Amino acid sequence: MSQERRNRSTEAFFGRRKGKPLRDQQAARLENLMPTLAVDLSTPAPADIKSLFRHPVTAVRLEIGFGGGEHLVHRATENPETGFIGVEPFVNSMAKLLASVEEAGLSNIRTHDDDATQLLDWLPAGCIDQIDLLYPDPWPKRKHWKRRFVSQVNLERFNRVLKPGGLFCFASDIDTYIDWTLIHCRDHGGFDWTARNASDWTTPFAGWPGTRYEAKARREGRGSAYLTFKRIEKKIQR
């Protein structure tokens, strides 16, 4: 991969990686705690991805772009028998997560601080029970829509790493991105939208703690959609 030219099919992160200067404690956690949680992509992935966690887990969930980590920490605390892999390239957000992990003493979280596509390509097939993509960058300008994380290339990655019947959960307050995701999942053919009536996609996911992005959307008068797709065998186009 290092010799390959990075492009839209191999990389999906666009934007800055660092904001405000880190405080001493934050920098110390990045130096000392981060290496103990980071998934090492330089080594082959284990046959059983659950072995990444210090204590036995019965399932593995992946959250892409966890922001400040509030949702990830809530889920990890609520489900100690589940292992969570959180992906976030933004250094300040990773620092916030590490503080929460340390404070809560969580042992069921692993991290990746670079592009999610690198992790997806490293993971073995059929190893993930659920993928969460919550309030991703909507890239609202039409000329930037190709930068949206939901794409046929990345849906193929999702379909590969999810277990049969595994879930892809998507939340957004941007109508064009909601429609975009529904259309892309339909066209991919490997995902079944589980909604059977309108309330299924306007009602937050079970145990949903809310996020700061959701709160901001509500303050600005926007509602949110919560889409759940089940991984199925990809339909062959005729």
What are the tens digits of pLDDT across the range 43-74? 999 999 999 999 999 999 999 999 989 999 99
- Please tell me the total number of residues recorded for the chain in this structure: 238
Measure the CA–CA gap between 89 and 100, rounded to whole angstroms.
17
State yes or no: is 121 an active-site residue.
Answer: no
pLDDT at residue 10 greater than cutoff 50: no
pLDDT at 31: 85
Task: Report the SS3 class of residue 36.
Answer: helix
DSSP assignment of 61-95, as one string?
Answer: EEEE--TTSHHHHHHHHH-TTEEEEEE---HHHHH
Residue 37 carries which side chain, given as an amino acid letter?
A: L
Sign of CA dihedral 212, 215, 221, 226: positive
What are the tens digits of pLDDT across the range 176-226? 999 999 999 999 999 999 999 989 999 999 999 988 889 989 999 999 999
Whether residue 66 contacts residue 136, with contact meaning beta carbons closer than 8 Å, is answered with no
Sign of CA dihedral 13, 18, 24, 25: negative
Higher pLDDT, 6 or 165: 165
Place of tokens 């309030």: 135
Nearest to 209 by CA among 123, 49, 100: 100
Minimum mean pLDDT range among 19-33, 129-143, 213-227:
19-33
Longest dimension (CA), the chain: 59
Place of tokens 């999702």: 158
CATH number of 24-231: 3.40.50.150
Which of 40, 113, 115, 137 is an active site residue? 137
Find the helix or strand (DSSP H, E) in which 191 lies: strand 191-193
Higher pLDDT, 195 or 14: 195
pLDDT band at 29 (very low <50, low <70, confident <90, very high): confident
pTM of the model: 0.90
Domain boundaries, the chain: 24-231
pLDDT at 8: 43
In the structure encoding, which two tokens stand for residue 172, read together? Answer: 């957004």
In the structure encoding, which two tokens stand for residue 206, read together? Answer: 């079970």
pLDDT band at 27 (very low <50, low <70, confident <90, very high): confident
DSSP state, residue 135:
S
91-104 helix and 24-32 helix, angle to the nearest 10 degrees: 80
